[in-house]
Amino acid sequence: MTLARASVNPAVLPRSFRLRHLLGVGLAVLGALWVLPRARAAWQLHDTAALFADYGLCMAGPTGAVLLRDQPQEFWQLVRRRLVAASATEPVFANCADIALRLTGLHSFSEKHESPAKEFVEWGIPNRSVDLPQLSRSMPDLSVLAGTAWPFSRSGYALLVKPNLGAKEAVHPSSTPHPGTLQGLQLFGSTLRARRVTDRGWFVVTTHGRDTRAVRSRDGGRKWTPTSPWQSALQGTSDRCTSDGSERAFGLEFRGSDKIPTLVYFDHDLKIGQSTFGGPNHRIKNLGCDESAAVAITEVQNSEWILWLCPSEKDCRILAPPPDLNGIPADGIDVARLRGTTVIAVTQGSVVRVASTRDDGRSYTPFTVALDHDDSPLNSTSKYHPAQLLAVGGTLLITQEAVSGNSPTLALTSEDFGASWHDWIKSNPK
């Protein structure tokens, strides 16, 4: 029996087909899988680097893009200056929210930029939920992105950090004043402060409850030494508030069984009038004066406080406080009077801000930052009492005493009622 044989057409399988062809196709696929993500990363790097620069300009001003790329710590310090200088309710970074969203794709990151300044921890109010480190941690890492874009981006990302045309640009934040130091002047805790300027020097007499102390400076405020508060040059200053060479003075008494605070007016050491202010539960925290009026802070329960204005020989009345002071305890506020202007200093965390009114509370200047411990060359681990104000020698002085006696007292001076501040020592050379 003859077996049938199947015939094979040699044209069905090409003679040139080899295993190397299969390998070539595989390599091509692998190459595409390697190239496409890197090409996509290179394209993303270009877009992200431009947005990165836009964000730097928007947050910190003209130098922001370069600092964010090369010196991020300096960048965030500038951002902090913008933040602490803003008013409490100002959404200082709101203009950057859309850039933040395009840069990271995170709505939560973008929404933080729309928060008012007071919601940031750095602004100074305790128990806030937003801080600048949260923003810093959400920023994209361009170095990682540049690594995934090799070899399409061989020169890295530095040259790509250039802002887009028409990018939003903030004003460059001003640096905060750097304080000087002085010796021997202690104001914290005193209720009444009398000042007298004579040819023998500057004198300050302070009343701490029943304790009266006096110090004198012979060098324009650089160094203060103890002196007797009972000497003839200081007659009429004990337990009173006076200004420089004025014969007008203000004293405190507590009348009746309820101990209601009463301001007593003096002229040439003679009593010429009085006015009650506050109530039986009010505690006097601070009192400042010039030749025309006294201004006082009384504390009620739960750290609530009231500001009072007492023109000489007239009844005391409530003085409208500056805006944005809700929630600030009375211990963090001090007042002074200088040539008819009421000046208020507010200590919030590491920041001291100052505002003033020349029309008895109808309007206030914006708060200016007098001192920021986290932006000062004297920054240390020392704790400080709230700032104190003193008008002496025709100028305004702000001091901050360390809780520990081992650290110096910080001091700044102002010749424009607190609108700007300068190093006390440099402003009063020997």
Hey, what are 399's tokens? Answer: 């001091």
Position 202, amino acid: W
Q: How many CB atoms lie within 10 A of CB 212?
A: 19
Per-residue pLDDT tens, the chain, 430 aa: give them: 455 555 555 555 555 556 655 565 556 555 544 545 555 655 566 778 888 899 999 999 999 999 999 999 999 999 999 999 999 899 999 999 999 999 998 999 999 999 999 999 999 888 888 999 999 999 888 776 666 655 555 566 667 778 888 889 999 998 888 888 888 888 998 889 999 988 889 999 998 877 889 999 998 888 899 999 898 888 888 889 998 877 889 999 888 777 888 999 999 889 999 999 888 878 888 899 999 999 999 988 766 888 999 998 899 999 998 887 766 777 789 999 999 999 999 998 889 999 999 999 999 999 999 999 888 776 567 788 999 999 988 889 999 998 887 778 899 999 999 999 988 655 555 5
Distance CA 383, CA 135 (A): 27
Q: Which secondary-structure segment (H or E) carries 213?
A: strand 211-217
What is residue 179's DSSP assignment?
P
**Domains of the chain (ranges, CATH numbers):** 24-160 (no CATH), 180-427 (2.115.10)
The confidence score (pLDDT) of residue 32 equals 47
Local structure of 272: helix, strand or coil: strand
What is residue 220's DSSP assignment?
S
The confidence score (pLDDT) of residue 352 equals 93
**Contact present, 305 and 298 (Cβ < 8 Å):** yes
Q: Report pTM.
A: 0.83
The confidence score (pLDDT) of residue 342 equals 95
Picking from 90, 84, 99, 181, the residue whose alpha carbon sits closest to that of residue 139 is: 99
Q: How many CB atoms lie within 10 A of CB 292?
A: 13
Picking from 222, 284, 292, the residue whose alpha carbon sits closest to that of residue 252 is: 284
The confidence score (pLDDT) of residue 369 equals 93
Hey, what are 149's tokens? Answer: 């874009």
Helix axes 19-60 and 72-85, enclosed angle (nearest 10): 40
